[in-house]
Amino acid sequence: MYRYASIIAVLLLATTATACSNPADSFAFEVLLNKPGITYDPAPLQNAENVNIENNTMVFRSHYSSEVAVVLQEVVSPLRGLSVRLQIPTETVKISHTQTLLEIQVNRNLTPDVDLMESLGYEILKKSSGEVSLIEAKKGSLETESVEISIFSRTSEGSLFSVAIRNKNLTDELMRELKIIATSAGITEHEWNNAEIETKTAYDVDLRVSNNSLENFDFKTAIRVELEWLKENGIISGLSDSDIQQISQLAKAGLAGHNSRLVWENGWKPYYETSSPLLIKGINCEGFSAENLPEGELTIRSHNESLDILPVIILLSAASIFLWVWRR
């Protein structure tokens, strides 16, 4: 049972350390058109050329940059409206880094000093107490150097003190800092001197822009162009020029996804800034490949183009009837 607790703690720490730091939302901007009075009609896109349609999602190339995707999706909960998303295509990369693990197992509960850890510059990520208690803290960034501490305890079974050090040497200064934290939690001098320490190469899977020319993409102009196009072609109605201007001014990379996309609540703002957001946990590391883009630029068949075919159909039908009667 004690070893089982150890494995859980290690897995919790590893999950924090290996999550992607740049999900697809980091390379996107999204607005949910949930403002009262705004309506949308996808019909003009349903018979268009060069648009990928799957379920309630439509994907076509941006009218500002053909290398960027526009993703339209109907959202029904917790807010209702049409989501308009600009997505820069990404590619998956495997990034190596050095990782040093330090572990101490004891057969009693540990009581970490959270205030001390915060005074040393650590951010408390998780804090729970009871029969099973867990403290997770981090200093630094996953993208550069970081130190993560996990202290897991289960009543009458024991505790595990774990440290994961990323891209950073285990210097004497860092060892002294970690020792202060460990001893304040109840680790003895003997237990500290016998800690298990291992350094190895670890790997993260992350996303990056597949086309370097899009790294400084102008989301502000791009969303203005796209919303104006959608409005001019009757796909969205009720969106004012003032709305488009406000949305454009706020647009930037990273304001995308359930928690962060722009929504309407007495003004346009990120969803997490609304009065009672229902936020979701976790990071979606699935990217958006350039292969998901349609082959060419979006072309909508105009109403006149559809009518132009009608006389031809009538003429061919009349000719067929004439030939049939003549042969008889």
pLDDT single digits (tens) 143-163: 678 999 999 998 878 999 999
Structure tokens at 39: 């309506």
Is the pLDDT assigned to residue 166 strictly greater than 50? yes
Quick one: pLDDT band at residue 282, thresholds 50, 70, 90?
Answer: low
d(CA 170, CA 100): 8
Is the pLDDT assigned to residue 1 strictly greater than 70? no
Task: Give the count of alpha carbons within 13 A of 303, CB side only.
Answer: 3
CATH number for the segment(s) 96-203: 3.30.310
Give pLDDT, residue 311.
Answer: 52
Contact 38, 236 (CB under 8 A): yes
Give pLDDT, residue 327.
Answer: 54
Q: What is the pLDDT of residues 239-277, one digit of tens each?
A: 999 999 999 999 999 999 999 999 999 999 999 999 989
Structure tokens at 205: 């899977």
Question: Would the CA dihedral through 10, 11, 14, 16 be positive or negative?
Answer: negative
Is the pLDDT assigned to residue 23 strictly greater than 70? yes
Structure tokens at 248: 């454009």
Quick one: pLDDT band at residue 212, thresholds 50, 70, 90?
Answer: confident
Give pLDDT, residue 71.
Answer: 97
How open is the CA angle 15-2-118, to the nearest 5 degrees? 50
Q: Are strands 262-264 and 268-270 parallel, antiparallel or unpaired?
A: antiparallel
Peptide bond into 78 cis (omega under 30): yes
Q: Where are the domains of the chain?
A: 24-89+210-281, 96-203
Q: Which amino acid is at 143?
A: E
Q: Which amino acid is at 326?
A: W
Pick the closest to residue 99 from 208, 197, 205 (CA basis). Answer: 197
Is the pLDDT assigned to residue 319 strictly greater than 80? no
What's the pTM value of the predicted model, to 2 decimals? 0.63
Work out the mean pLDDT of the chain and round it to a whole number. Answer: 86
Q: Are strands 123-128 and 132-140 parallel, antiparallel or unpaired?
A: antiparallel
Contact 198, 101 (CB under 8 A): yes
Q: Tokens 């494995």 label which residue?
A: 7
d(CA 214, CA 220): 14
Among 1-15, 126-140, 164-178, whose mean pLDDT is lowest?
Answer: 1-15
Q: Which residue has the higher pLDDT, 18 or 183?
A: 183
Q: Tokens 């993409």 label which residue?
A: 217
Q: Tokens 């803290």 label which residue?
A: 137
Burial of 198 (0-12, 13-18, 19+ CB in 10 A): exposed
